[in-house]
């Protein structure tokens, strides 16, 4: 469990709302490690390791009011978009069949999605296809909403690792033994803006600190730890439209 300030503190101090939508989370604020459990078998669709809010002591403690902001994605995102009751900052974590990760073949068979199971080759093409389809559906759901059409909003699609391209990192990645950079390899990040404008790209070496720093700059939140140093973060604000 980590202590210290987080972006949640910064958002709340600025009067900005936030909510995390977790696919297959069994209930609001649930502290389970994996879900669902079918009979005597736990199928690891929801994985707490993809819910970063649960790793901070000022969010995850008994009776924490902030746990009410961590909700099952199913129906909640749809209803919030329909009502217009969408927070300023939204985090979405798909389940492990929809985030291109995959689960055990036995678990995948149990839920009727054999293509989500890890293949012997390790090349999880089935999980990638499931992720592509889910991404298309979810992004379209957001972009079809009145909230999207009537606000200045952005969607950030971020991957946390690329097992196929080594362990190259960003400016804030730690360095291990023999000078090896402990990063996640080259992975894409895509920004979709509700405001129209020209297509932009950047080849700037970036990581999740860069994304956090960019959000902090855009909302004038200040910085935290590594985002306070341009040598370990920087920003790509040019990808966002005012």
Which tens digit of pLDDT belongs to each residue from 179-216? 777 777 788 899 999 998 888 998 888 888 899 999 99
CA 92 to chain centre: 5
pTM of the model: 0.92
Give a yes or no: residue 5 inside a domain. Answer: yes
CA distance 222 to 216: 6
CA distance 38 to 42: 6
Which residue range(s) make up the domain with 89?
Answer: 1-151
Give a yes or no: residue 179 inside a domain. Answer: no
Which tens digit of pLDDT belongs to each residue from 96-154? 999 999 999 999 999 999 999 987 656 678 889 999 999 999 999 999 999 999 999 99
Give a yes or no: residue 170 inside a domain. Answer: no
Give a yes or no: residue 196 inside a domain. Answer: no
Give a yes or no: residue 87 inside a domain. Answer: yes
CA distance 215 to 221: 8
Q: b/e per residue, 1-26, with b = 16+ CB within 10 A?
A: eeeeebbbbbbeeeeeebbbbbbbbe
For residue 191, give the H/E element and its range.
strand 189-193
Number of domains in the chain: 1
């Amino acid at each position: 469990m980590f202590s210290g300030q987080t972006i949640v503190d910064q958002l709340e101090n600025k009067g900005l709302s936030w909510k995390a939508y977790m696919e297959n989370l069994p209930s609001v604020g649930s502290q389970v490690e994996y879900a669902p459990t079918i009979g005597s078998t736990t199928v690891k669709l929801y994985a707490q390791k993809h819910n970063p809010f649960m790793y901070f002591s000022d969010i995850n403690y008994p009776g924490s009011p902030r746990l009410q902001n961590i909700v099952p994605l199913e129906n909640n995102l749809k209803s919030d978009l329909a009502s217009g009751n969408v927070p300023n900052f939204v985090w979405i974590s798909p389940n492990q069949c929809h985030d291109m990760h995959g689960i055990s073949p036995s678990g995948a068979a149990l839920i009727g999605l054999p293509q989500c199971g890890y293949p012997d080759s390790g090349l999880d093409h089935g999980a990638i296809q499931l992720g592509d389809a889910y991404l298309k559906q979810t992004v379209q759901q957001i972009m079809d909403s009145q909230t999207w059409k009537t606000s200045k909003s952005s969607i950030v699609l971020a991957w946390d690792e690329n097992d196929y391209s080594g362990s190259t990192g960003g400016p804030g990645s730690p360095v291990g033994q023999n000078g090896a950079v402990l990063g996640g390899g080259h992975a894409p990040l895509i920004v979709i803006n509700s405001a129209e404008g020209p297509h932009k790209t950047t080849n700037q070496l970036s990581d999740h600190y860069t994304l956090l720093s960019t959000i902090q700059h855009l909302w004038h939140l200040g910085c935290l730890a590594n985002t306070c140093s341009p040598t370990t973060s920087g920003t790509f604000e040019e990808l966002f439209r005012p």
